[in-house]
Amino acid sequence: MPIAESDQLLVERVRAGAPHAWQELIARYEGRLLAFVESRLNCTAAAEDVVQETLLGFLTSLPNYDSRRPLEGYLFSIAAHKLTDHLRREGRRPALPLTATDSSGQWQPVAGGRGASSLVQSGERRCLEEAALVAALTEQIDRLRSRDEWQQLACLELLLVRGWSNQQVAAALGQSQQTVANTKSAFLERLRSLVRRQEPHPDVFPELYPQ
Amino acid sequence: MTTPQFTDAELLAYLDEALPSETMAEVERWLRSDAAGLARLADVSARRDAGVHSLSEIWRRHHLSCPSRQQWGSFLLGGLPAAEAEFCRFHLQTAGCRRCQANLADLERQQGRQSDAAATRRQRYFQSSAGRLPSGS
């Protein structure tokens, strides 16, 4: 049985209050959650407390959990929140100031773009746009994998996930800046053509439509 | 001392606890020592709240290029083709994916058979949370 399907069945049994299912879910996920939290805390007891809070948080949020969403990602996102809370309490993680970059108190796009108020979108619209981008990215990443183009995938991770410059990526991977630039440009061009069908406003995809 | 340069994508990842732990600590040191850093982080966060999509955030949140847990298992056993195994190493060490690092650490622990400690821990988690299970329908 695929993992996603097996997780869905497990969550259904937990929703029904089955203790064995809950034990199984804990056994399946606590180890990786603990490793995630421990990497930041360097204190096993505190890390175990955060994992415990994560599991309790999962049960509390269960009525709102959409089981089409991958369970592992959902648990890791709860763990990240609980970890952030813990680090704030310890004073390690500074709180964000409640200020923005303009006098209206809202973020504004660069000149020529729309105001933030008009950018705030309905949740539905935002989800559609994100789904379009995920589908397009998945298609391209699968294509690279199927062709064993691992170097290109590595290059794109640094460029697009870490946001590094062409120069930094070229140095990290031992490639020429021109090769990195070509990889980026070809990938973004294909992505634009795939996403264009959804007709998103350019302001909500600034990386795809640089001004 | 030079000011560290973090990209907007890295600051978004910081907000989501998704950078490698050493880089997370570096960002925290920077934020504590530089008020302009906090303002920039607030700006990045506000932009996200306003509905601007970020390729990095979407790619990261959906783990689009992460090897699966099964692939990490094969990686540990040396069962992946060389080029794919090289990408896995890159994904862990250079891209610094925290979730994959955690999955690999967990698999390594399981291989190391630290099962007694894990069983005790799991029992404690269960006992402290079973009372919150839904009552069922």
The string of pLDDT tens digits covering residues A8-42 is 999 999 999 999 999 999 999 999 999 999 999 98
Structure tokens at A98: 């409640």
Give B3 to chain A, closest Cα distance, Å.
Answer: 16
A98-108 residue pLDDT tens: 544 444 444 44
Which residues constitute the domain of residue A15?
3-89
At A200 the pLDDT is 64
**Number of independent structural domains in chain A:** 2
Q: DSSP secondary-structure letter at A197?
A: T
A67-92 residue pLDDT tens: 888 999 999 999 999 999 999 999 88
The answer, yes or no, to whether residue A3 has pLDDT greater than 70, is: no
At A118 the pLDDT is 47
The mean per-residue pLDDT over the stretch A169-189 comes to 96
> Is residue A106 in a domain?
no
Clarify whether residues A69 and A144 are in a common domain: no
Q: Do B42 and A34 touch (CB under 8 A)?
A: no
Residue A156 makes CB contacts below 8 A (sequence gap 6+) with A144, A183, A184, A187, B65
Handedness of CA B86, B89, B95, B99 (dihedral sign): positive
> Is residue A107 in a domain?
no
Q: Do B56 and A109 touch (CB under 8 A)?
A: no
B49-107 residue pLDDT tens: 887 878 999 999 999 999 999 999 999 999 999 999 999 999 999 999 999 999 999 99
At A105 the pLDDT is 44
The answer, yes or no, to whether residue A111 has pLDDT greater than 70, is: no
CATH of the domain at A155: 1.10.10
Residues in chain B with CB shorter than 8 Å from the CB of A207 are: 54-55
Give A67 to chain B, closest Cα distance, Å.
Answer: 15
> Is residue A161 in a domain?
yes
CATH of the domain at A24: 1.10.1740.10
| Phi, then psi, of A53 in degrees rounded to 5 | -65, -35
- Among A63, A71, A65, CA closest to A26: A71
Cα-based distances in Å from A205 to A136, A187, A197, B14: 13, 15, 14, 21
Q: Check if the beta carbon of residue A163 is closer than 8 Å to that of residue B10.
A: yes
Q: Do B84 and A150 touch (CB under 8 A)?
A: yes
Q: Do B59 and A208 touch (CB under 8 A)?
A: no
pLDDT band at A202 (very low <50, low <70, confident <90, very high): low
Clarify whether residues A85 and A8 are in a common domain: yes
Which stretches within chain B are classed as H helix?
8-15, 21-33, 35-49, 55-61, 69-76, 82-93, 98-111, 115-129
- Return the residue in B27, B68, B99 with the most chain A beta carbons within 10 A, the one to mutate for interface testing: B99
Clarify whether residues A136 and A70 are in a common domain: no
The answer, yes or no, to whether residue A201 has pLDDT greater than 90, is: no
> Is residue A199 in a domain?
yes
Q: Which amino acid is at B86?
A: E
Q: Do A35 and B101 touch (CB under 8 A)?
A: yes
> Is residue A60 in a domain?
yes
What's the rounded Cα separation, in Å, for the pair B92 and B105? 11
Q: Do B94 and A126 touch (CB under 8 A)?
A: no
At A126 the pLDDT is 74
Query: Which of these three, A64, A89, A114, is where a domain ends?
Result: A89
Q: Do A14 and B132 touch (CB under 8 A)?
A: no
pLDDT band at A147 (very low <50, low <70, confident <90, very high): very high
At A109 the pLDDT is 42
At B137 the pLDDT is 55
Q: Do B55 and A16 touch (CB under 8 A)?
A: no
At A199 the pLDDT is 66
> Is residue A114 in a domain?
no
Q: Check if the beta carbon of residue B122 is closer than 8 Å to that of residue A27.
A: yes
Cα-based distances in Å from B32 to A91, B20, B98: 10, 19, 23
* Structure-model confidence comparison of residues A178 and A3, the more confident one: A178
Instruction: Closest CB to B101: pick one of A39, A83, A92.
Output: A39
> Is residue A115 in a domain?
no
> Is residue A191 in a domain?
yes
B4-62 residue pLDDT tens: 689 999 999 999 999 999 999 999 999 989 889 999 999 999 988 887 878 999 999 99
* Structure-model confidence comparison of residues A125 and A117, the more confident one: A125
Residues in chain A with CB shorter than 8 Å from the CB of B62 are: 73, 134, 137-138
Listed by number, the residues of chain A in 17-76 with a beta carbon closer than 8 Å to a beta carbon of chain B are 17-19, 22-23, 26-27, 30-36, 39-40, 48, 51-52, 55-56, 59-60, 62, 72-73, 76
pLDDT band at A110 (very low <50, low <70, confident <90, very high): very low
Give B100 to chain A, closest Cα distance, Å.
Answer: 9
